[in-house]
Amino acid sequence: MPLTEDQRVTPPNHYAVTKQVYEHAGRCFNQVYPQVEVIGFRFMSIYGPNEEAKGKYANLISQFCWDMARNLPPVIYGDGTQFRDFTNVRDVVQALTKAIETEKKIGADVFNIGTDRATSLNQIVAALNKAFGKNIQPTYIENPVKEGYVKGQHADISKIREVLGYEPTVTLEVGIQEQVDQLRMDRIRKTSSDELR
């Protein structure tokens, strides 16, 4: 850590394998058709409002937010010290826009989109409690994922800063407060907490 784009990639699961294949396919395509620019991205842990349709596949910030809005304890697998580079969707849009609008010749390349900041799940619960004005403690259970679990994720964003001029603008505190402020209770009441998990 932090993760850089030039590190050797060893996919821990089939999902990660598919992402690596996409990158390789993009490079191959650019070699055959060099006039076509291929820019890939490695998204960190993207969060933002309006993820209800994703249910249990939504970002942990959304899932914790929905539980805490109902005064339910968020469920954390393990001890909550695992960490992610939580990145607001508005910063993802910023990065994609910069890639689309750049006049630089990229060829075929890959960029991290993150914040250059690692945050634990325990810190996320604390930030949500602050945003809600509550004091809800999480429920910790044994992590059922025994193989290929990613304990930590933290992106080095120096490359995208230098090449595309990307700079994250939404702090985690602001992003979480916005998520709480924009929460639609009528949407989350339609799905039970067990289904969200």
- Looking at residue 148, which CATH number applies to its domain? 3.40.50.720
Judge whether 123 lies within some domain: yes
Per-residue tokens: 49: 């409002």
pLDDT 10s digits, 14-65 = 888 999 999 999 999 999 999 999 999 999 999 998 888 888 888 999 999 9
Note the pTM of the prediction, 2 decimals.
0.87
> pLDDT tens for residues 150-167?
788 999 999 999 999 999
Asked whether residue 4 is domain-assigned, the answer is no
Q: Which domain holds residue 128?
A: 14-196
Report if residue 28 sits inside a domain.
yes
pLDDT digits (tens, 9 = 90+) for 58-115: 899 999 999 999 999 999 999 999 999 999 999 999 999 999 999 999 999 999 999 9
Count how many domains the chain has.
1
Q: Identify which of 196, 190, 164 has the alpha carbon closest to the alpha carbon of residue 59.
A: 196
Distance (Å, whole) CA 61 – CA 82: 14
- Residue 48 belongs to a domain: yes
User: Does residue 23 lie within any of the structural domains?
Assistant: yes
Task: Decide if 80 is inside a domain.
Answer: yes
Residue 53 is assigned to a structural domain of this protein: yes
